[in-house]
Structure 1
Amino acid sequence: MTDPAPLLRRLAGRRFLARAALLFEVLWPALWPPAAVAGVFLCLALLGLPPLLPGWLHLIVLALFLVVFLGLLVRGLRGITVPDDRAADRRLEGQSGLMHRPLSVLTDTPAVTDPVGLALWKAHATRALAQIGQLHVGLPRPGLARRDPRALRYGLLLSVLAALVIANFDAPARLYAAVVPSMPMAPGVPATELQAWITPPAYTRVAPIFLKAESGAVSVPAGSRLTINVSGGSLTPTLTLNDRSEPFNALDHNSFQTEWDLTRGGKLVVTRGGSRLAAWNLTVVADQPPEVSWGSRPGRTRSGQQTRLPWQVSDDYGVSTLQAELRLRDRPDAPPLVVPIPLPGGSPKKAHGVSQPDLTANPWAGLPVVGHLVARDGPGQIGTSADATFELGERPFHNPIAQLLIAARKSLSQHPDDRTEALAALDGLMQEPDAFHGDIGAFLNLSAIYYELVRNNAASAVPEAQGMMWELALHMEEGQTEQSARELEEARQAARDAMNKAQQQPTDANRKELAKRLEELRQAIERHMRALMQEAQRNNDVMPFDPKAMQLSNRDMERLAQQAEQAAKEGRMADAQQEMAQLEKMLDQLRNARTQGGHRQANGRRQKGRRQQSAVQDMIGREGKLLDHAQQRAEQNPAAPQPGDPAAQREADSRVQKALRRALGELMQEFSDQTGEASQGLGEADQAMRQAQSQLNQGNDQGAQQSQQQAIAALQKGGREMAQAMAKQQGSQSGEGEEGEDGSEGTMGMMMPDDQNGDGQGAGPQPGSPDRADQGGRDPLGRYNQGLASDNADVTVPEERERQRTQAIQQELRRREADQQRPRQELDYIDRLLKQF
């Protein structure tokens, strides 16, 4: 007997197919009626007929088709059972032509259990199993032909295919329109519209960010403000961010708004009536503090008077303020000195530069400090640089009394609780009243400073005394006349600005401000004229009468100032402007006269500059002789007889080189004291001379030759630097030499002898002319004489001339503007020109 397992597996497959065929024969007749209804609706939908109906009729037709479809489906499926194995066996036996139901043997059992009966039953089962290979399922026969004798089912299928061809690519849209009827909306109900935007903080200078209603991600700076408007509908929307939820504020019956300050990110959702209107993934970016550092090493400038503060900053949205905080190295607990540093362009994101504030008037000038930079951004976050130690720039003083006062001032800055050293220095000055040369006011101020420190033990006495020391040092260095002239120029500029403002905006407040500034100008004129008279008395100046010069009187100028002030108070701006123009003219003449009187001092400085330049030329000649000696020794043949001892010649040249270097050091110190600047060329020459001396001592003529050539080139460079510095100093000290309208120079008529011209020299030959060749200047070929050097009168400073010319043009325009008799068109044109100054 063969193994029955494969036959049984084959029988199981045949049974499955038989059950499927039986189920199809039952289901297909039951599903055909609802399928026919669905096919009819599909044809109508593909042809686009349902959307043509009114909305309510479309809905009725759709519901009718659905009811008929479901009714026929339920009716057909009702009573249908799934065929079992017994029914499958009967189908297999019938389709295969088997007799006496042989497949039932597989599930039956013998009635007798004797050996003969069992053997007979086993033989019968074996014969039945052998017939399994002959089983056939056959095709299913649902019998639709009897129910549809006209074959309408094929016509419906053909119609569906034709409708698909007609619809083509519009088939999905037509099907959707057929199952979704377009119902008219209730009148008066507006559509929901949502508008959302985020406004970043003003310091970021970022444009508002508009949000789309669709979900998305957005990144904004911290501190931004969210605004959402919802219009349409009567239900109040709700805004949710993480665990925070708040309803909108109602603007009217169908408009709502909410505003939030964003400090953290998360899921931002707008909902209304249980439905979501919009959602965004919000990220809030925290603002980083600014980064600031020193650009290079801070400290004094080359001239030593200014303080150099290099800086560089950066921030993600821009730096708003930058300042340097300086602390005295010897007094770290003292309040810091805060120096504001201006930034380019308002609030740059990244910038660098160098600030050179004038800190010479500060009590810490010339002292070592420890400083760092502090930068702030828009939200107020602070960035700090590393500490740097350097010295503040200070003004050089040449007057002995001024030097002692500044030294005492520094001592009080370093040790404010110990006034012994400062009091000792002040007491020593008080013991020598003759050092003030009859300046009683200066001596009295010194006494006031001394007794202020002795009797007033309060902490505020030290800064007050230091301020008085600074003013007294300036007075002793510059003189009362220079200080009063500076105050007069400041008062004059303030009155000029107030006059322009009162003309542009003729309000009561501006007129009162103008009257106040004119009163201050009158007082400054009085102080300056008094200082001029005191200076003339101390110097015993000769005051000859000059019929071509306008005689200036402080009474006339004070009268003009009072008249202008009274006109401004009464609102007569035209008269006030005319009086101011005349006063400006007299002040210009006063300044020119003072400048010409000061040329005598400038002449002494020029003479000193000539001597310094002559010394440089003499050094160049002597260095050239040393260079000739070194070249001769280097070119000599060692085998040839020597005219002298080379070692002795090098020793002699080394001594000369040392003397030249010492003289150069004294010249450098004298030049620095006079101009307040250091010459780079002279410094290079000093270094080259030192190298030449060392190489001469070592017997190296070749090296000494190169160093001496470098020294000569550096001396020539230093001579040019000295000429430029002297020309610059003369240009800054010269006044306006413009002529008046009558062709004569404006002078006081009593401040300068007749035998001197505008530059303080006699009316002899001009510099550079052949007649001056024997006077120590340049010879007719333009070379320097070995005597006194030229005063370099051919060196011009275009910047100073341009400034003088600009001031002259501005003064002439103001004079013409004060003349109200001129045509209105010309006055308007002059006013437009003056706005450019």
Structure 2
Amino acid sequence: MAKPTGTIPVLSDLRLPLFLTRCGLLAENAVRSFWPFVSVALLALALLMLGVQDHLPVRIVWGGAALSGLALLGTVAIGLRQFRWPTRDKALARLDETLPGHPIQALLDDQVIGTADRDSMAVWQAHQTRMARRAATARAPAPDLRVARRDPFALRYAALLVFLVALLFGSIWRVGTMAAMAPGGIDLAGGPTWEGWVEPPRYTGKPTIYLNDVSAPMMQVPEGSRITLRFYGEIGALTLAETVSGRIGETPPASDPIQDITVARDGELRIDGPGGRTWDLRVLADMPPQVAIAGPAEAEATGEMLLPFAASDDYGVVSGQARITLDLGVLPRRHGLAVDPDPRDEVIVQLPMPIAGDRTDFTETLVEDFSRHPWAHLPVTVTLSAEDAAGHVTEAEPRPMLLPARRFFDPMAAAVVEQRRDLLWSLDNARRVAQVLRAISHRPDEVFRSETSYLRLRAILRRLELMTDHGLTGDHQAELAQAMWDLAILLEEGDLGDALERLRRAQERLSEAMKNGASDQEIADLMQELREATDDYLRQLSRQAQQQGQQGDQQQAQNGMQMTQDDLQRMMDRIQELMEQGRMAEAEQALRELQQMMENMRVTQGQGQGGQSEGQQAMEGLAETLREQQGLSDQAFRDLQEQFNPGAQSGENRGNEGRNGGQGRGQSHEGQGQGRADGQGQPGSNGQPGSEQSLADRQQALRDELARQQGRLPGAGTPEGDAARDALDRAGRAMEGAEQSLRQDDYAGAIDQQSEAMEALREGMRALGEAMAQQQQNQTGQGMTEGDMRAQNRDPLGRNSGSNGSLGTQENLLQGEDVYRRARELLDEIRRRSGEAERPEVERDYLQRLLDRF
């Protein structure tokens, strides 16, 4: 039996928690019942604040308003039916659930049995006391406002998000425009009114104009501007008349409350009715962009075309293109260009636009590399076009020019590039290209600097003839063109690891550029290349001296003149100065003198060493392996020739030309197929079965020999030694691939693998040389005493060198003695030392020049 709640003193102390709990239940019931109503109300209000009604017809706006009203009424009705007012008992039950043991309910209960038993009554009183203390600690629970089960799609959050956006970007005052859309909804006593805006296109960057503030009768607006007018009041009281849009066909009524037009031409804009106004609109036409070539097209030394251009527009250029077409009308149609070209699309490249800054008027440079294109150095027409934001496109006057591209100064490289162009010009030129390539390689020892490039040319030639006989396709054409381009680059640039060859090539390219009237930028790039090649050559000379255990590191020419690196730099500065002044004849003469001195330059020789070190032995072994690999490659090439002409005797195939110039005689080839593997020197192209197998066995034996040499390679643990071992690993893998190709009678693939093996061997030898030089330098530095360092730092007269790396000395030659007596003693000492044959040659030459001068 439950007691009345008012008779329990403890419950009187729980009035505040009970009230808060009841308020929480009220909030729970309200949220669960009326969240649809609140969501619909927020969504409708947000749409009005964003001004959606201003962009829709009146009928649609009021239709949406009616639907919103029905939705609000429906959600209110559902909410009222579901809502229940929380009672005090429910609040007590909710509060009691938060306490362990339900003490409030225990306080409301009465003892039913055992009332006559004193002990039972004592236990009940103790229980009531304990429950009272526990009930005194009650705190109001937090209300459960979650309605996720009732709203699984979170529509309430979507409505809230739209409302927050409206608060940020909308206006509460726009809600009042709904009343103006209703017939008679505005106070007619105030009369009809209107509003208007002129919104220029966004790309113009001009602000929106509020027409109510424009009192001038004439107004200028950009082309494409949008005019929006809104009429408030009785429909028909205000009407619009305009001649600026140029609209034809069906147009909206002039009395519509919302008018939206686009300005396309000059005309009149007039609002008829109370408070109406008239404007004479003048359209600011969007001018088309302008683009033109701003200077001559030039080519850098690496082949990139530099084409300056200028573009402008009243509001800014958006994009541009350069269209390049071949000018067949002025093209000299001779040699490989005599046949009709294969169809080829015109070249279209995008013009670079400024990333930041103003695009209304700017100058940029188009940088593209057309060196590999068949139209390189041929007459073309370049047409530039530009487009603005309004879609206007302007084309500049076509400019005829020779398409700038990379220039090849090596005659053989230029010939290969020309034949590559003819092959890309038309597939009908394939046989002619093969004949020309065979002709220019008639004497390979006179035109090729390396055997690798010669072998590549012969492989390209054979592949071209084979593809021509079986039908040359576009894919074959692209493959051969890429191979010929790589060969031309190899012929032009040569082996960059060979410093002397690079120096000669840089000097020849610079000389050819001066003779052919190259651009200033190209000459400057070639001059920089000459400087780098000279520095590399001097470093190689110094490294060679260290490898041979020489003491000196000073360069000298054969005529005995001493030159330092600063002297060489001054000579190159003088050459560049002469070229900049246009004195090309004097510049060429100075370049020839520099070339002659660099050819004769060497490192001062010192005392040789009695025996060979481990590194020198390894270097000689690798050199022998390289020679034998070259012989095997020559043998494989001869077998490839005989494979395409099996009826010929050994060495008598057409075009079978050796490195020594013999034709039709296999023994004229260098290498002669001899190697350590068999020792018999039998040529592999004898047409007998098993000869190819013998060549593969010799390749395997050479690979095994390389592996043995690699195991005894010095310099382990150093960066140079590890680089040498990596290079020899690549050479071994290439030899293994060549062996497999030989066993499959794939001579073309074998030649390619053998070329890779030789390149890797050369790289390994260079890395081994650097490792030996570094090792010897460390040994020299560790074994040199302080006295030896001071002795080596003395000049031929026994004086100490200057401090801080200076070439002079701070010591006084006279030191207080008579000048003439001291001079005679010095001359006598110079004569005595110049006659000592054991002194280094550079020191004796220096002393002799002192005697000649004084």
TM-score tier after normalising by the smaller chain length: 0.3 to 0.5
Q: TM-score, normalised by structure 1?
A: 0.36
